[in-house]
Structure 1
Amino acid sequence: MANPVEVDQKGKFNRQTNRFTIPFGNGEGELPVEAGRYRLIWAEICPWAHRAVIVRSLLGLENVISLGTVAPMRPDVPRVDWDFSLDEGGVDPVLGIQYLSEVYLKTDPEYTGRPTVPAIVDINEGKVVNNDYFRLTNYFEIDWAPFHKENAPNLYPENLREEIDALSEVIFHDVNNGVYKCGFARSQEAYEEAYDVLFARLDQLEERLATNRFLFGDYITDADVRLYTTLVRFDVAYYAAFKTNRNRIVDFPNLWGYLRDLYETPGFGDTTNFHAIKQHYHLSNHIASDDQKSLNILPKGPDTSIFNTPHNREDISGKKEKFLI
């Protein structure tokens, strides 16, 4: 949900900035990298949080950084929040909290923004130490390297980091956040402007993927994780709920094959919950229309079994392996 301050006078959605952005590292004032110290809070519906969970899985950090999951539907309270109603007693078993806002307010009693996921919480202090979704996967890839599993993939090769960062910035503004700019627009002009930018960028990515198996060639990188989490939600949620309806992803031959290639890769599809995604975007009390909420009807389609159909993307690279080790 967008707070009123996130919509400008022209009806354009401007996402709130992250409040807790101290980096991980060994330098003074940085967050120490310690196994068992932190808990990653995510929502299965959230593309920003999903990419952190994918990278956590790919790098083998599951036993190093614990995972807490908030429910896909917003709680019925007079504020924007997330709750732990999926857990026994409606309380996170490690942090002992019912609502995500509790750790945000414990960290900063004057915090007035939306409590967002992903959030890295210091378990001992019960405080949010980082909610910088834009940099979090990079911290996992670089600073948490001492805890990577054996033969963990190199998702952020040093020789490509500048190019990956540049493309990720474009993908964020035009695609990741672009669908929200459509869905949260409060004027026809703002909606159409975001819509045109979104599909112009998807057309360019479709062309790029005609000759590249992944965004940077033969191997999956951090940029692919970032694009995946929007593409996988597109047809089941954004196409209808956010009115991003020029094309579905299944209508783009290269993007659709690319999406299936990623979905069928461990760490991607097995962390994707289509039912939760549909619940949130179609029934949530801050996105669905009044008519949808009153009817409380969850769309039956689309058929997500097609995500497991052959894609033949390996023919482009000539390689079966997808990761640079």
Structure 2
Amino acid sequence: MSEKTSEVEEHSTRGAYVTGSEFTRDTNYIEDRITREGTPGPDGEPGWPVEPGRYRLIAARACPWANRAVIVRRLLGLEDVISLGQPGPTHDARSWTFDLDPDGKDPVLGIERLQQAFFRRFPDYPRGITVPALVDVPSGQVVTNNFPQITLDFSTEWTEFHRPGAPQLYPEHLREEIDTVNKRVFTEVNNGVYRCGFAGSQEAYDSAYTRLWNALDWLEERLTGQRYLVGDSITEADVRLFTTLARFDAVYHGHFKCNRNKLSEMPALWGYARDLFQTPGFGDTTDFVQIKQHYYIVHEDINPTQIVPAGPDLSGWLTPHGRESLGGSPFGEGTPPGPVKAGEEVAAGHGAG
């Protein structure tokens, strides 16, 4: 066995995803936050103050949780305040790698693997190395990988640096409803597709499948009469649902066996997803090629051949959706973001065009 083959076997992801009967996500993340006051962390450690140019968002295009952070960063106009590092779509058991960058290293942090930023702060870090992650550039240490809080803090703690016309993604008067919707969407849909895909028994799969489609039917009904999930414009709730819907037909329907219907067979959800996709900040941050490469190559437990499917046809994402008739407007009293920042564009042929 060659040295290279031996290394691949040693760091294989086999057995990392389907580990028993029911899939349970580890939701224990680094809970530090970047705040305007630099509030101390939960254990009294020094806080992390909002400071333009200090932090780097590491967010793989393939990952739905990371895609959220990229969308919110773009909608709010934080591109010149928080830099972006993008790992490639595949990784082994050690962590995401910067294999798309010159010399295989992040050009700002100078590291090959995101794992290195975690180990610089926690040498014995015992959990998964996940994206999105915010890294303190001066020290090269990870600050947080708590993905639900990252996007909320972009909206509430970085307001001084929002672009003119930035939307209110987490307005105070709608927060209670947004939080309620987000909780159900996370447990039943965002994470629900994974419970189907990584189920280790028929019973666990059947239960996960039923819960997922009960929630999708609820969303279909809710979105039949309103353009957005909460209120009359885009909020955090829409961002969180969109990244799952964008991956549904390309990955979750087949790879994760979520196959009662395709997204394109659910009129309200399909129209809603297309409406968002065609809104600046959503479709222009969605890379279908990297999405498929990640799931079909990395998840050896459920796709041992690592063959990436050629389909589905993506042209439907650009067809008229007719959702304007429901009223509302994407950015409320705000305005759309400008062009994608140079160097952050989705590669030609990787979108729906």
**TM-score, length of structure 2 as denominator length:** 0.86
Cα shift at 1:324: 4.4
**Retained in 1: the 8 A contact 2:105–2:111?**
yes
Are 2:208 and 1:200 equivalent residues in the alignment?
Answer: no
- Corresponding residue for residue 43 of structure 2: none
**Retained in 2: the 8 A contact 1:6–1:16?**
no
Rounded Cα–Cα distance in structure 1 between residues aligned with 2:15 and 2:332: 42
Q: Deviations over 1:166-217 (max 9, x none)?
A: 1101111100000111111111111111110001000000000011000014
Rounded Cα–Cα distance in structure 1 between residues aligned with 2:184 and 2:129: 25
1:179-198 maps to which residues of 2 (within 5 A)?
179-198=193-212
- Corresponding residue for residue 81 of structure 1: 95
Which one is further off, 247-256 or 210-219? 210-219
Which residue, out of 126, 140, 165, partners 2:179? Answer: 165
Are 2:259 and 1:248 equivalent residues in the alignment?
Answer: no
Cα shift at 1:17: 2.3
Cα shift at 1:2: 8.5
**Retained in 2: the 8 A contact 1:87–1:93?**
yes
SS in 2 for 1:201: helix
**Retained in 2: the 8 A contact 1:6–1:14?**
no
- Corresponding residue for residue 304 of structure 1: 314
Given the superposition, is the C-alpha separation of residues 324 and 230 from structure 1 closer, same or farther in structure 2, using an over 3 Å criterion? farther
**Retained in 2: the 8 A contact 1:54–1:267?**
yes
Aligned length: 316
SS in 1 for 2:78: coil
Identity of aligned residues (%): 50
Cα shift at 1:80: 3.5
Q: Deviations over 1:205-232 (max 9, x none)?
A: 0000011000014211100000000000
| Gapped regions of structure 2 (runs ≥ 5) | 1-11, 41-46, 335-353
Given the superposition, is the C-alpha separation of residues 115 and 286 from structure 1 closer, same or farther in structure 2, using an over 3 Å criterion? farther
SS in 2 for 1:110: coil
Q: Deviations over 1:43-68 (max 9, x none)?
A: 11101000010000000000000000
Cα shift at 1:284: 2.3
Query: Which residue type is aligned with residue 325 of structure 2?
Result: D
Given the superposition, is the C-alpha separation of residues 18 and 2 from structure 1 closer, same or farther in structure 2, using an over 3 Å criterion? farther
Rounded Cα–Cα distance in structure 1 between residues aligned with 2:211 and 2:63: 22
1:134-283 maps to which residues of 2 (within 5 A)?
134-283=148-297
- Corresponding residue for residue 144 of structure 2: 130
Rounded Cα–Cα distance in structure 2 between residues aligned with 1:315 and 1:183: 36
Which residue, out of 296, 313, 317, partners 2:323? Answer: 313
- Corresponding residue for residue 65 of structure 2: 48
**Retained in 2: the 8 A contact 1:70–1:84?**
yes
Which residue, out of 80, 83, 88, partners 1:71? Answer: 88
Rounded Cα–Cα distance in structure 2 between residues aligned with 1:244 and 1:285: 16
**Retained in 1: the 8 A contact 2:59–2:132?**
yes
Which residue, out of 104, 122, 128, partners 2:118? Answer: 104
Query: Which residue type is aligned with residue 313 of structure 2?
Result: D
Given the superposition, is the C-alpha separation of residues 95 and 257 from structure 1 closer, same or farther in structure 2, using an over 3 Å criterion? same
**Retained in 2: the 8 A contact 1:178–1:197?**
yes
SS in 2 for 1:43: coil
SS in 1 for 2:128: coil
Are 2:102 and 1:93 equivalent residues in the alignment?
Answer: no
Rounded Cα–Cα distance in structure 1 between residues aligned with 2:301 and 2:289: 16
Q: Deviations over 1:66-92 (max 9, x none)?
A: 0001110114xxx33111000000000
Rounded Cα–Cα distance in structure 1 between residues aligned with 2:24 and 2:143: 23
Q: Deviations over 1:305-324 (max 9, x none)?
A: 1100000100011x555434
SS in 2 for 1:44: coil
- Corresponding residue for residue 120 of structure 1: 134
RMSD over equivalenced CA pairs, Å: 1.9
Structure number having the greater helix percentage: 1
Rounded Cα–Cα distance in structure 2 between residues aligned with 1:3 and 1:109: 25
Rounded Cα–Cα distance in structure 2 between residues aligned with 1:28 and 1:56: 22
Q: Deviations over 1:134-165 (max 9, x none)?
A: 11110000001000001110111100001101
Given the superposition, is the C-alpha separation of residues 324 and 201 from structure 1 closer, same or farther in structure 2, using an over 3 Å criterion? farther
Query: Which residue type is aligned with residue 80 of structure 2?
Result: N
